[in-house]
Every structure is written in C-alpha cells, then in structure tokens.
Structure 1
Amino acid sequence: MATSTVQAPATVVPAPDTFKSVPPLTLSDSAIEKVREIMATQDPLPAGLRIGVVGGGCSGFQYSMSFENQPGMMDKVFTYGALKVFVDATSLMYLNGCVVDYVETLEAAGFKFENPNTKSTCGCGSSFSV
C-alpha cells in the first residue's frame, strides 16, 4: 500500500540583495546637479546637504537646506550618486514621500518641494502646514 506525504508549500524569501531600500525623500537629477554645483564653490568642501523642516512662515513650517561638514548623531544619511543628504528624524516624518526638484523659469529659479504630506501652503509657496 502506498503512503502519501503532504509537504508544506515552499516559502520563497528573496535574497537580501534583492530588497530595495527606497529613500523617503527623492531628489531630481536637476536638484542633485545644482546642489553639487553650489557645493563645489564652498571652501572647505562640505560633506553633504542637510534638508529639514523648521517652524515658521505663514503656514507653520518651512523647508530648510544647508551644507554640513558631518551628519549629526541622530541623522539619517541618504546617498544620491556622490551627494550625501542628512535628515534629522523629526524632519523625516514631514518629508516622507517628498520630491525635491530644481526649477529655472523666466521669473525665478530655485528648489521646489512637492510634499504629499502638506494640507495647505501659503500664497508664496515657501511655507506649509500638515
């Protein structure tokens, strides 16, 4: 008499190198290029760019960008090509899913933040609320 055995289905677990870590903050190619261009004029050359959210402006919060010589102890560090971006944990909550672009038009040039977490922005577009 033949006996049959029931085997549990195989569980497929991707190899560790197949997991992709997607940064919560995206920088466009033009934003990366412009930051690197500005960084190249600094003496000494900064280690990276800090992007953050600070209180202020008409709507309650504003974006901040500055050059840093090293990340803080509690910073998350993201790498975009040769550019390192430092973000503190509090700002990261507000920047999750945000896209930073650099735009040049006839009227103005600057960095543009497209943030899905904002509920409203001020008329001039430099501050936001969540």
Structure 2
Amino acid sequence: MLSLTPVASSKVKEIMNLQNPVPAALRVAVVGGGCSGFQYHMAFENSTTEADQIFDFDGLKVAVDQMSSMYLDGVEIDYIETLEGAGFKFNNPNVKSTCGCGSSFSV
C-alpha cells in the first residue's frame, strides 16, 4: 500500500488549493524512463477511472493506475526541505538500484 506522510499530504493540499479549478485527485504513477529504467510521476487530475486504486489521506484523494500499483507497494512519499532545496521524496523499499542523480530507479 502507498502512504503519504502528514507533511507531504499537507503540501499537496496546499498546492492543489492554488489551482483553478481545484483538482479532484493527485495521480502518482511509475513511468518508463531515466537511466535506471523507471521514474516516479505526480500530476493533478480532474477525474479518475474505475480501474484506478484510490487512497484517501485525510481528505486528499490519490489515484494510482493498475500498472503503477505493483511498483508503488510499500512506498512512502514524504516532503522534505533542506538547504539544497525542497521536494517530494519517494522511499521505496523495493528499489534494487538508483541512478547517480537519484531521479530514476530499477526493481
């Protein structure tokens, strides 16, 4: 199961509320690409499909398609702020390797 930390959930809600119209859900997916084979993808959605797995994090709806769900099992999404910058961090216990820049992975 996918999880979002309270900090990540709060940040997504904050960003969503700045959109017009306010999106219905956050889509989290795994797509092919990057030097290690897969990359994470996050986007706002105005609608979801029946095939999507829908998670609810304190009122935040997160949609995951069937293909991505097998790669996101056990993943925790966090939001971090450091001196180098801020962003969402995917903690995936299933990852076997990542690329040097840390933006792609393989399982």
> Normalised by the size of structure 2, how large is the TM-score?
0.98
SS of residue paired to 1:58: coil
Matched AA of 1:88? D
Instruction: Quote the residue 2:22 is aligned against.
Output: 45
Q: Which of 1 and 2 has greater Rg?
A: 1
- Compare relative contact order (CA 8 Å, sep 6+) and give the higher one, 1 or 2: 2
The correspondence for 1:71, drawn from 29, 48, 69, is 48
User: After the TM superposition, which residues 118-129 of structure 1 pair with which residues of structure 2 at under 5 Å, given as runs?
Assistant: 118-129=95-106
Alignment of 1:32 onto 2:9:
yes
What runs of 5+ residues in structure 1 fail to find an aligned partner? 1-23
CA distance in 2, matches of 1:124, 1:31: 22
User: What residue identity is the alignment partner of 1:52?
Assistant: A
Could you tell me how far apart the structure 2 residues matched to 1:57 and 1:73 are? 29
CA distances 1:9-57 after superposition (whole Å, capped 9, x unpaired): xxxxxxxxxxxxxxx0010011001100100010000001000000000
| 4+ residue segments displaced more than 3 Å | none
The number of aligned residues is: 107
2:66 is the counterpart of 1:80:
no
Is 1:61 the counterpart of 2:38? The answer is yes
**Partner residue in 2 for 1:16:** none
Distance 1:123 1:36 in 2: 31
Matched letter for residue 82 of structure 1 = G
Structure 1 counterpart SS, 2:20: coil
Structure 2 unmatched ranges of 5 or more: none
Match for 2:72 among 91, 95, 107?
95
Of Structure 1 and Structure 2, the greater strand share is in 2
Seq. identity, %: 63
Q: CA deviation at 1:88?
A: 0.3
Aligned equivalents of 1:128, 1:118: Cα separation in 2? 6
